[in-house]
Structure 1
Amino acid sequence: MDSDDFIHVPQPPPSSPTEATPPPVPTLTLKLRQKNAVVGLNSTSPSSTQYVATVTASSLVTEEARSPVDISVALDVSGSMSGSKLDLCKKTLRVLISELKATDRLSLCTFSDDAKEVFPLTALTQAAKEDLVRKVGLIRTTGCTNISGGLGMSVSSLLSSPPTSSSPTVRSVLLLTDGHANRGISEPDALLSLVKGMIPSNDNISINTFGYGSDHNADLLKGISEATKNQGSYYFVESEDNVSSAFGDCLGGLMSVAAQNIKLTIMVDKSDEEGKLSFDIAHPSAQGGGDDRTKTLMLGDVFAEEVKDFIVNVTYSTSVTSEVVVSAKLNYLDITRCELVESPESQISTSFVEGTAEMSETDKYVLLQGLRVKVYETLEAANNRAKSSGEVEAARKMITDLLAAIKADTDSLTLSEEERRSVSMYEADLRDALSSMVSYDSYQRTGSKFMMKKMQSHAFQRCNESDEMTANAYRGSSKMAYASRMKGKMGSMFGK
């Protein structure tokens, strides 16, 4: 065969290389910022600078991908809860039941003079839901308020029934009361000690508390919510219409837990001589330890979309080394992927320059986080002043002084829209605190509860609003969705 008889078949073009699958977005990310990158050493007296370690959770997990939840409700059924209060709580429980899946478990305990387990921790199949709804309908009010009994029974309900799912489980007690503890262990310090002792240190059970009306002990309920390693939230339910949205806000958080067993490690390179540099971490919701070079913080559950900021205060002398390096890393359980994760180490360095007082430009994010800390510290100090001595005017002055300081610190800054929203939120909450304590009577009725709620929200950077219409920059999309949905269901199911 002649060569002309061959048919030329062109070679196919080389196949394009298979694109690499992008790595998954980490559930938690870590970033370090510093107040000033360059610090002038102009004084022989010790001075300080600040850093912020920011932990950011990724966006909301899907409903299908979320972890199962175990919830135990401890409901006050004392005499003061009679009438519309109990009726609304029972309706809210029915809405809560409707939101849970068969992979979720729920128990219900009531307390008055003593405590009673109405419904043991059970997977909420359709049959179980129907049985629970029937038992909710039978609840009646009687007697006084044994918070310790109800709380202890709800915690025992969770502890005695370990999670059955192979996936990490979110576990929480929801305690609702309208009054003061006057049965069982009623002294606040003793009751808080009981709470701290009843949940093992390696357990992730949180306690969320709901103070209904103006006659509950906000100090106690806030303390109970913060007494466990995995801190919960205190909700001030001022209006009876907001019981369902308060439970919804709480449930939205539990439904969107992104990570558990979180350890934040912060290290400061102290190659200088002893005593020239020291550091501490300011964050009330963290528990931890460490030494003069390394500090570790153990954190509670973090919800999707949440941001947690940890201020690192570094104190130095004029003979400090020319450069200080701060680094941080995260270890956590990613509950959406069911795996332990160690983040890449984040690092930042600061130059200390002799013979000058000049500083590099101040990082606005660090400045605003410092203001956030001042907001909750001032609310706490003002609340303590009004509570201990009745000096409402002195307490109000603390707040007005901070409002003036915030204005002075931020007026000359060019702020982004997000930064301006943060400042506006601080100012609005402080002004609302002033409005809630125009007199000692108004402070006792609502001001003390309002300030407790707000100081906790700013300290934890977590929404604890009972009204879904109240603006709160810490509220993620899941909290907003469940708060709105549960209140909407109250209307569609019961015409309210």
Structure 2
Amino acid sequence: MSNDPCAICLGGMGARGGQAIFTAECSHTFHFHCISASVAHGHLVCPLCNAQWRELPFVRPAQPSPAPPTLPPPLLPIPLMEPMHHHVQPPPIRNRPMHGVQTPPQPEVFDDDEPVEPPAAHDSQRQAAAAAASGSGGTLLIVQTHTEYSAVALDSSRDNFAVLVHVKAPGISSGGEAAAAAGDAQRAPLDLVTVLDVSGSMSGEKLALLKQAMGFVIDNLGPHDRLSVVSFSSGALRVTRLLRMSESGKGLAMGAVESLVARGGTNIAEGLRTAAKVLDERRHRNAVSSVILLSDGQDNYTMARRAPGAAAPNYEALVPPSFMANGTRDWSAAIHTFGFGNDHDAAAMHVISETTGGTFSYIENEAVIQDAFAQCIGGLLTVVVQGLRVAITCGHSGVRIGSIESGRYESRVDDDGRSSSVAVGELYADEERRFLLFLTVPAAAATDGETETTLIKVCCSYRDAAGGAHVDVTAEDTVVARPEQVVEAAAERSVEVERERVRVEAAADIAAARAAAERGAHQEAVEILEHRQRAVAQSEAARGGDPTSLALGAELFEMRRRVSSRNSYERSGRAYMLSGISMHAQQRANTRQMSAFVSGPVASGGGFVLNAAGPEGVPSVAAAETSSFATPAMRAMLLRSRRAREASAEQQPPPPPKAGEALDPESVNQ
């Protein structure tokens, strides 16, 4: 008989005599009385692996054994799927104890959040400094432009002439690792809601790793930050209200996290509805708000099962309206999603993040979940710019804006082509965004005596996150020289523009390859990526040794391997490619892992190390960055997490020897 506990009541399978044991088709075992009350209306999914049970006789024990005194009566709502005879709505799931722990009743309104700290003297000083900086050249957003070529012949016109608009957020004055440290007075405080999957499939090591990762998050939040923990399985529970992360608040949060127990199904939508309720109904607000969602499974309550050949599910149904871009909150309440392991619904997690302005990370190696969380909060704890909008107007009467490559950021070009804008939103300290504009440049009359043409004027407006002051920054006019003759071979070409053009074209092909793989054309997907990889390798930036372009080639090689067959694509290719699409569309670091030719496990976003002899078509380098998107604070927090994990591993006793394995004499003597 299995020694594993029943996933519903958590009692031992042989602890109390005379109990009937049910072994499901998926080989998991349960007390018969625990499941019988939950299958009265039809089929049921396994609480551990979410497998659908086809045959399950209904037995009602005469006198079911009571649950252990510390546990509530087990209740599992019926997932939304095809019933045997008639449709049964799942019972209400709010205001009920969940996950096997005794909890107080959930309030009807989540307006019991702990008050934020009142503004200190340094806050008003910071607001004054930010206001002064907006007009006196202080620490501001940096705005630069780069033209594709430095000169265009006087009598020539150009279509699709590329100009790069490059913005970089100011850093945090304390710098280095201290910039990301908890309690740093120079940053905007954070309201964070973590939405954690505690379904049956999260039991064992997965839940232990999640608790360890949450411990790291709690340790690194400062006393001005607030945290609310929401857990979900068959239903959802607000485990803690929004608490300030003082020493007492951290203790309460850690106790709540340690109390989590894995059981039940996967109801992502209810978890997000609870998170929305926490943020929508709070009485107080910190300057920055965000949500972290982690799940290892697929929602089996809101998303009905698809019939073969049916249209793709509407994953936006999982997202509460208040998280939408056109909802009651702005992009500052983004949902950053983390797909845990190889069984999660990567498409759903990607849509949730994309719809709300967050990032999607793929945690293939479950041991590095803490690193993934660390990199994310390393950015969230350093938000310096909010509501950023880039406005572009044409300088010369004959110049027109044709299009903008802005990724997922909403952009607009006026009908006459004379002006355009990009809505960027938040930026972390030292974070950068690059947008390619394609212009029509007219010929200039020699009689005008023009020596240069003003192409565009760029102005950025935003709100200082820490102080709240409104800031405007105007870049120098973007001009191009107009000599009588230009020798194309001698014309100065911008490396910055070339690098971004290569990246944008690669991102488009990654999306095309993913679409091919989705319809089963795996060889076509490989060919698209292979062609783009060669183009990247032949680009002037890559030939010049640009590390970003070299790393892009390595990324394309890794994707080729993962889309080459249906099995590899279903196992990890879809999640890996969607994570890459998220990173490029956002120009923001997320977590993925190289595996084909990486020396050692690394959580990216982040860096990877290539072997001395790189794969065919990928230049060999000692080290490269998967992207230039990770900020110094994100890298510092990631390093802090790795050091913490290494220190924890050193303190763990060595694992017991396997059967037949000789003991190490030195370890026995220690």
TM-score, L = length of structure 1: 0.85
Q: Could you tell me which residue of structure 2 aligns to residue 14 of structure 1?
A: none
Contact 1:76 1:176 in 2 (8 A): yes
Match among 334, 347, 365 for residue 477 of structure 2: 347
Q: Could you tell me which residue of structure 2 aligns to residue 310 of structure 1?
A: 435
Match among 127, 132, 135 for residue 256 of structure 2: 135
Inter-CA distance 35–222: structure 2 relative to 1 (3 Å threshold): same
The alpha-carbon deviation at position 191 of structure 1 amounts to 2.8
**CA distance, structure 1, for counterparts of residue 463 and residue 242 of structure 2:** 25
1:366 counterpart = 2:497: yes
The alpha-carbon deviation at position 164 of structure 1 amounts to 4.4
Provide, for residues 380-430 of structure 1, a one-character-per-residue CA deviation record: whole Å limited to 9, x for no partner. Answer: 11011101x2111110111111122223332896x3x6xx11211111111
**CA distance, structure 2, for counterparts of residue 112 and residue 71 of structure 1:** 20
Contact 2:401 2:413 in 1 (8 A): no
**CA distance, structure 2, for counterparts of residue 203 and residue 410 of structure 1:** 36
1:116 counterpart = 2:234: no
**CA distance, structure 2, for counterparts of residue 203 and residue 324 of structure 1:** 34
3-state SS of 2:408 partner = coil
Provide, for residues 256-281 of structure 1, a one-character-per-residue CA deviation record: whole Å limited to 9, x for no partner. Answer: 11211101101123523xxx844221
Q: Could you tell me which residue of structure 1 aligns to residue 529 of structure 2?
A: 399
Inter-CA distance 100–189: structure 2 relative to 1 (3 Å threshold): closer
Contact 2:160 2:402 in 1 (8 A): no
Q: Could you tell me which residue of structure 2 aligns to residue 173 of structure 1?
A: 291
1:176-325 correspondence to structure 2 within 5 Å: 176-184=294-302, 187-192=314-319, 194=321, 195-196=323-324, 199-202=327-330, 204-228=332-356, 231-269=357-395, 271-272=397-398, 277-289=400-412, 291=414, 292-315=417-440, 323=453, 325=455
Inter-CA distance 163–378: structure 2 relative to 1 (3 Å threshold): farther
Match among 129, 136, 147 for residue 268 of structure 2: 147
Structure 2: where are the runs of 5+ without partners? 1-132, 175-183, 305-313, 593-602, 609-624, 653-670
Structure 1 or 2: larger helix share?
1
3-state SS of 1:343 partner = strand
Inter-CA distance 163–311: structure 2 relative to 1 (3 Å threshold): farther
The alpha-carbon deviation at position 199 of structure 1 amounts to 4.4
The alpha-carbon deviation at position 373 of structure 1 amounts to 0.4
Q: What residue identity is the alignment partner of 1:118?
A: V
The percent of aligned pairs where both chains have the same amino acid is: 25
3-state SS of 1:139 partner = coil
Contact 2:165 2:435 in 1 (8 A): yes
Mean CA deviation greater in 485-494 or 248-257: 485-494
Match among 56, 64, 69 for residue 168 of structure 2: 56
The alpha-carbon deviation at position 446 of structure 1 amounts to 1.1
The alpha-carbon deviation at position 465 of structure 1 amounts to 2.0
Contact 1:261 1:299 in 2 (8 A): yes
Structure 1: where are the runs of 5+ without partners? 1-20
3-state SS of 1:39 partner = coil
3-state SS of 1:141 partner = coil
TM-score, L = length of structure 2: 0.64
Contact 1:262 1:333 in 2 (8 A): yes
1:367-386 correspondence to structure 2 within 5 Å: 367-386=498-517
**CA distance, structure 1, for counterparts of residue 503 and residue 148 of structure 2:** 15
Select the structure of larger CA radius of gyration. 2
The alpha-carbon deviation at position 163 of structure 1 amounts to 4.1
* Root-mean-square deviation (Å): 2.9
Q: Could you tell me which residue of structure 2 aligns to residue 16 of structure 1?
A: none
**CA distance, structure 1, for counterparts of residue 231 and residue 163 of structure 2:** 46
Q: Could you tell me which residue of structure 2 aligns to residue 390 of structure 1?
A: 520
Q: What residue identity is the alignment partner of 2:291?
A: V
Tell me how many residue pairs correspond in the alignment.
462
Contact 2:302 2:318 in 1 (8 A): no
Structure 1 or 2: larger strand share?
1
1:335 counterpart = 2:465: yes
**CA distance, structure 1, for counterparts of residue 164 and residue 517 of structure 2:** 32
Q: What residue identity is the alignment partner of 1:302?
A: L
Contact 2:165 2:436 in 1 (8 A): yes
Q: Could you tell me which residue of structure 1 aligns to residue 630 of structure 2?
A: 475
Match among 186, 201, 213 for residue 80 of structure 1: 201
Q: What residue identity is the alignment partner of 1:391?
A: A
Contact 2:199 2:232 in 1 (8 A): yes
**CA distance, structure 1, for counterparts of residue 386 and residue 587 of structure 2:** 17
